[in-house]
């Protein structure tokens, strides 16, 4: 075998290892987001149940429970909106049209940035746990795409750091491939499917 064949084999093995790393990272992100949503929802429901149970002596408990339910939902929704408006506007919406446009070659600034990841994570948790008629599925696909882009780039403009890791994958073709893999992992994690 020639040296070129050996280098291509090493590059191929590295690519597969990065795909596995992306899948694991997206699974961890999805677990964290869904666990946070479930935890906040459980807290809201348990507090409401305790208020209703304590209402045996009059209507005050019912009103207290209703007030808590409405106030906690409003706080979570306002938090989600504030993250998008004041922290990172690119985190608004589902993110799927932006990812599709990026994969089709449209230069979309901040679509796969760390700030967008943080904003999308926090706003998704707040919006879903706050009771808005939205789901975590589409944001998880966008988060998967961001993880796919971030794992392989070895640098962050937001944090101002750069490493020499995976330098050979810092081109548009490979970045789109890894973003596609991350989005597919996001689909799989969002719907609990074994294959995206």
Summarize pLDDT for 68-112 with one digit per residue, the tens.
Answer: 999 999 999 999 999 999 999 999 999 999 999 999 989 888 999
Structure tokens at 120: 């999308």
Are 37 and 166 contacting, i.e. CB atoms less than 8 angstroms apart?
Answer: no
Structure tokens at 189: 């994690």
**Closest by CA position to 187, among listed 118, 138, 151:** 138
Averaged pLDDT score across all residues of the chain: 89
DSSP class per residue in 68-134: HHHHHHHHHHHHHHHIIIII-GGG-S-SHHHHHHHHTT---TTTT-HHHHHHHHHHHHHHHHTT-S-
Cα separation, 32 vs 40, in Å, equals: 12
Please tell me the CATH superfamily of domain 9-191, with its number. Clc chloride channel (1.10.3080.10)
Query: 195 pLDDT exceeds 70?
Result: no
**Closest by CA position to 127, among listed 189, 179, 85:** 85
| pLDDT score of 57 | 63
What percent of the chain has a predicted confidence (pLDDT) above 70? Answer: 95
| pLDDT score of 46 | 93
Are 184 and 142 contacting, i.e. CB atoms less than 8 angstroms apart?
Answer: no
What are the CA-CA distances from residue 11 to residues 2, 5, 155, 179 (Å)? Answer: 14, 10, 19, 18
């Amino acid at each position: 075998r020639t040296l070129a064949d050996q280098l291509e084999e090493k590059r191929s093995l590295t690519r597969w290892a990065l795909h596995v790393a992306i899948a694991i990272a997206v699974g961890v992100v999805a677990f964290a987001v869904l666990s946070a949503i479930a935890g906040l929802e459980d807290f809201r429901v348990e507090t409401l149940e305790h208020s209703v149970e304590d209402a045996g002596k009059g209507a005050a408990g019912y009103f207290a429970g209703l007030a808590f339910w409405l106030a906690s939902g409003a706080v979570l929704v306002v938090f989600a909106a504030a993250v998008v408006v004041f922290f990172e506007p690119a985190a608004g919406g589902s993110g799927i049209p932006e990812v599709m446009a990026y994969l089709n070659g449209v230069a979309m600034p901040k679509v796969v940035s760390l700030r967008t990841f943080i904003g999308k994570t926090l706003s998704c948790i707040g919006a879903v746990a706050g009771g808005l008629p939205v789901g975590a599925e589409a944001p998880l696909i966008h988060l998967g795409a961001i993880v796919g882009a971030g794992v392989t780039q070895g640098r962050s403009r937001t944090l101002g750091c750069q490493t020499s890791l995976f330098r050979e994958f810092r081109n548009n073709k490979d970045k789109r491939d890894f973003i596609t893999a991350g989005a597919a992992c996001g689909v799989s994690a969002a719907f609990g499917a074994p294959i995206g």
